[in-house]
Amino acid sequence: MLILTRKPEESIMIGDDVEVKVLDIHDNKVRIGISAPKDVVVHRREVYQEIRRENVEASAPRTLEGLSSVFAQKARSANNAKRNE
């Protein structure tokens, strides 16, 4: 793992196309901005892990009873995401 120290408004480059910039540091939080081409997918780690988990779950064989629980879980996840916005 490469460890770097940056101050607000300083950035790092990943390859030629991706820039990660420190926007602000306040209390115990760092705000970063990411500039990347549209074909580069960027997610927070927890979102990425959820997407991967859902993809694995979606590819598993399902019974009709199992499908109804998947739809119910998706609805709960969508409602939770709306509350967190």
**Per-residue pLDDT averaged across 6-17, rounded?**
96
Residues 24 and 31: beta-carbon distance below 8 Å: yes
From the list 1, 2, 7, 4, the residue with the least C-alpha distance to 22 is: 7
The pLDDT tens digits of the residues spanning 22-75 come to 999 999 999 999 999 999 999 999 999 999 999 988 887 767 677 777 788 888
Q: What are the Cα distances from residue 17, in Å, to 4, 36, 57, 69?
A: 19, 6, 33, 42
Confidence at 20, pLDDT banded by 50, 70, 90: very high
The residues with which 19 forms a beta bridge, in sequence order, are 13, 35
Owner of token pair 């081409």: 37
Q: What is the pLDDT of residue 11?
A: 97
User: What's the distance, CA 56 to chain centroid?
Assistant: 17
Predicted local distance difference test score (pLDDT) of residue 62: 66
